[in-house]
Amino acid sequence: MNQSLTLALSKGRIFDETLPLLEAAGITVSDDPEKSRKLILPTSDAAIRVVIVRASDVPTYVQYGAADFGVAGKDVLLEHGGEGLYQPVDLNIAKCRMSVAVPAGFDYASAVRQGARLRVATKYLKVAREHFAAKGVHVDLIKLYGSMELGPLVGLSDAIVDLVSTGSTLRANHLVEVEQIMDISSRLVVNRAALKTKREKLQPIIEAFERAARSEQ
């Protein structure tokens, strides 16, 4: 049977770090989404195309079958909930951690000890809510869509929950990491129905990704 596949990727680090995995599966993408305005990119395999979507939209495209598979960060998957998604492989790419950060000089430990009500700005409401609930810390969560680092600098919040890799963005904004919530990496996500109906075409790619991810560790 002639099975065609759509892969959902976000541009930036996920696209860049998925390219070598695709190559390990014998698939090359010649368009550069940073330069091209195309949202649908062909690949060296006429039956496989890549769609470029927002990082946080990848699980949605795959859940509804608009894409058969995709690559999404654990941060995004936790907020989405993962319904309808099969997550066979941790690809070990786009690694970072989700952390709590506060302005240098803010005594986080004693604020928590004294049971102060903290205002926390974040894009990651679910993870933040669960993290502070588990610690018994009372928080008012403020939903932002980006540039969380700005929150404490302009008095919007006392703290932020954000992704950290090198820490240079925090440092540049005089913030310090006071708690690491979890390690983050990106996973392969596959539409559950496509896994059955397009198994023949998908399985070798999943396996190639698995092997390539293992050698990346």
Q: Choose which of 8, 50, 55, 89 interacts with ligand ATP (CB under 6 A).
A: 55
Which is nearer to ligand ATP, 110 or 166 (by Cβ)?
A: 166
Which is nearer to ligand ATP, 146 or 155 (by Cβ)?
A: 146
Cβ at position 57, least distance to ligand ATP in Å: 8
Triad 34, 35, 41: Cα angle to 5°: 80
Handedness of CA 27, 56, 159, 112 (dihedral sign): negative
Cβ at position 183, least distance to ligand ATP in Å: 11
Helix (H) or strand (E) holding 52, with range, is: strand 48-52
**Total number of residues binding ligand ATP (CB under 6 A)?**
17
184 binds ligand ATP, rule: CB under 6 A = yes
How remote is the C-alpha of 117 from its chain's centroid? 29
Region from 41-49, 70-78, 110-118, 201-209 binding ligand ATP, contact rule CB under 6 A: 70-78
94 binds ligand ATP, rule: CB under 6 A = yes
Q: Choose which of 73, 118, 122, 157 interacts with ligand ATP (CB under 6 A).
A: 73
12 binds ligand ATP, rule: CB under 6 A = yes
Terminal Cα-to-Cα distance of the chain (whole angstroms)? 35
189 binds ligand ATP, rule: CB under 6 A = no
21 binds ligand ATP, rule: CB under 6 A = no
Pairing status of strand 69-73 against strand 175-191: antiparallel
Handedness of CA 109, 115, 117, 120 (dihedral sign): positive
Q: Choose which of 6, 10, 18, 122 interacts with ligand ATP (CB under 6 A).
A: 10
d(CA 53, CA 132): 31
d(CA 42, CA 51): 9
d(CA 56, CA 48): 22
Give me the residues that bind ligand ATP (CB under 6 A), please.
Answer: 10, 12-14, 54-55, 73, 75-76, 94-96, 146, 163, 165, 184, 186
